[in-house]
Amino acid sequence: MPYLALDTSTEHLSLAISTQQGIVTRNWPAGQKHAEMILPCLAALLEECQLTMEDIQGIAFGNGPGSFTGLRIAAGITQGLAFARGIPVLGVSTLAALAAGCDANQVYACLDARMNQVYCAAYRKQDGVWSEVIAPCLSDPDAIPVPSGDNWLAAGSGFAMYGDALKNSLGTRISSIDATRFPLAKDILALALPDFIAGKGLAAHEAELVYLRNKVALKTHERINK
């Protein structure tokens, strides 16, 4: 059955649909234009797959952490489409999706959180199943939680922005770095499909976001005064 996944948590727009031939995915550089681009891009992808929204049986979305505005766009679009169709939704961690897209069994996922901070988490894959080693958190680059063991792949935009500080914190535990990788809808969908098939999808109004930074919506002077 066809399922849809979307992610707008970074400067990229990522969409994916499961079909009988496999997952079809498309990614676009969106900057700050996710809201303008997402519905036309979705319409084009559905047409490419010879499907309509009437065929979609569930929607997965990157529920954070990530851009505050981007996460709200993803949640809003997901809820609107799901309400209209009466289909289930699932939120998937952007950091887990980032890890799942890597060709490695141990991934330290790290996204730029702005304000000189990062979102980070660590995941390990065993027998094809990913497990959380360090839960998603917000941290200063020089104070990130460090996993045990060696041979970790470091991935994500955090390493592009704060590479030296992060490398100093992780030391020899990391074997390589891919700072260009970002969460992709195809990996969100791959993580969500087993739960959809098992009937674990949620009602649209139950979709939740993971911000991690509680004061993200406050203005600068309000954050300073808090």
| CATH number of the domain within which 116 lies | 3.30.420.40
Same domain as 197, residue 160 = no
Same domain as 62, residue 142 = no
Same domain as 127, residue 157 = yes
Same domain as 36, residue 139 = no
Same domain as 41, residue 74 = yes
Give residue 113's pLDDT: 97
> How would DSSP label each residue in 19-62?
ETTEEEEEEEE-TT-HHHHHHHHHHHHHHHTT--GGG---EEEE
Instruction: Give the three-class secondary structure for 127.
Output: coil
Q: Token pair for residue 199?
A: 């009937």
Q: Tally the domains of the chain.
A: 2
Residues in the chain, total:
226
Same domain as 54, residue 27 = yes
Give residue 164's pLDDT: 97
Same domain as 87, residue 17 = yes
Find residue 22's DSSP bridge partners. Answer: 19
Helix locations, 28-179, DSSP H: 34-48, 68-85, 94-100, 158-161, 163-170
Nearest-5° Cα angle at 206, 197 to 2:
30
Same domain as 188, residue 162 = no
Instruction: Give the three-class secondary structure for 78.
Output: helix
Structural domain for 107, as ranges: 102-178
Give residue 213's pLDDT: 84
- Would you write out the chain's pLDDT as a tens digit for each of its 226 residues? 999 999 999 999 999 999 999 999 999 999 999 999 999 999 999 999 999 999 999 999 999 999 999 999 999 999 999 999 999 999 999 999 999 999 999 999 999 999 999 999 999 999 999 999 999 999 999 999 999 999 999 999 999 999 999 999 999 999 999 999 999 999 999 999 999 999 999 999 998 999 998 744 433 333 334 3
